[in-house]
Amino acid sequence: MTQPSLPFVRLLPKTKPQAIRHGFPWVYANELVLDRRTKALAPGSLAVLQDADRRDLALVTVNPASRIAARVLDRDPAALLDETWLRGRLNRALSMRAALYDAPYYRLIHAEADGLPGVVIDRFGDVAVVQPNAAWAEAHLDILVQALVAETGVDCVIKNGTGRARGLEGLPEEMAVVHGRAPDGPVPVPMNGATYMADLMGGQKTGLFYDQRPNHAFVAGLSRGARVLDVFSHVGGFSLAALAGGAASALAVDGSAPALDLARAGAEAGGMADRFDTRQGDAFEVLAALAEDGATFDVVICDPPAFAPSKKALEAGLRAYERIARMAAPLVSEGGFLTLCSCSHAADLKRFRDASARGIGKAGRRGPLIHTGFAGPDHPQLPQLAESGYLKSLVFRL
């Protein structure tokens, strides 16, 4: 039975409803009847989704201006989106993270996979950073924050309204403290035996990338006594974990001076500053300069931003991943390890692996792939949504 106060939106006759019934969370604009009434709905409006035969399928949120015209909130068309409903979703996500981690530093909500489409929440102890990347979350931010505080007890909630996803939803960019008071400076985050410094108001994304945690740990296990090169290091993700794992030295390379400042602060906080160095510059230029100097390292990691953020950018992105592999491979000592990462959902695992292997081969190097890693369990994948499994990490022994 539908809620009489909600409008309905309907699938086009050519669109089969099985995907929605089987868990796919999106309805694209070319699958929905976009009549005058539907187009008049404000972005983020709630509606009941019906199939072409007017049978109710789900409670959805609608954004007629987005390529993703509707997002499934609940398979129950009569569900009520209020603070109680939001607390239920948050509680389910929180209980899983509490079972996985012994300290409250993790991704708490990973969008569709945690039942809150377009919403990302990262937790940093008593502070939470919310990215409301879908119009419905922006429209319901007040009760989302109330539910978040009630379930977690955090003292501060920061809204990070920046990034490409919000632009696709027609949302403006905005940073704001929406509950409590922001930290006076970077927040220390314990992870894999290292201490990372997260700038929650001015850093990239939410301030720290939790998704690489298991891949940091795997590479740290290879780094005992090693000389480590961490390219696209951000705040020292791989390099600080490697040092905590017993690396002899680590060089972090990034184009951002503020990120490297935070990496150095993390090294100092962990008592590892004497084994840590940084180099600011374009990654490709630094790799070329290191090769010209004849430098080699036992462990080399390249963890670039998304070179293929969309299908249109896929071919150019794959060429960039191949180039990175070709330039990094000569810097790996005989018997050393090369880790290559991609956070581009458009480049699936096979395409990324093939591009990496081509690059290594063109550099005149050979070696087996010894490990394939993905995002940690606080970044769960929705099996029906390939985009939720965006992160790939490949470790080669050259």
Catalogue the active-site residues.
Answer: 343
Name the residue among 156, 161, 235, 163 with its Cα closest to residue 198. 235
- Whether 378 and 106 have beta carbons less than 8 Å apart is answered as yes
The answer to whether 77 and 58 are in contact (CB under 8 A) is yes
Amino acid identity at 108: L
Whole-number Cα distances in Å, 177 to 83, 181, 380, 383: 20, 7, 27, 34
DSSP for 257-281? HHHHHHHHHHHHHTT-GGGEEEEES
* 8 Å CB contact between 392 and 374: yes
DSSP track, 137-205: HHHTHHHHHHHHHHHH--SEEEEEE-SHHHHHTTPPPEEEEEES---SSPEEEEETTEEEEE-TTTSST
Half-sphere exposure of 16 (CA within 13 A, CB side): 4
* Bridging pattern class, strands 227-231 and 249-254: parallel
The two tokens of residue 133 are: 């990347």
Cα-based distances in Å from 8 to 4, 20, 138, 303:
10, 16, 21, 44
Neighbours of 3 (CB within 10 A): 16
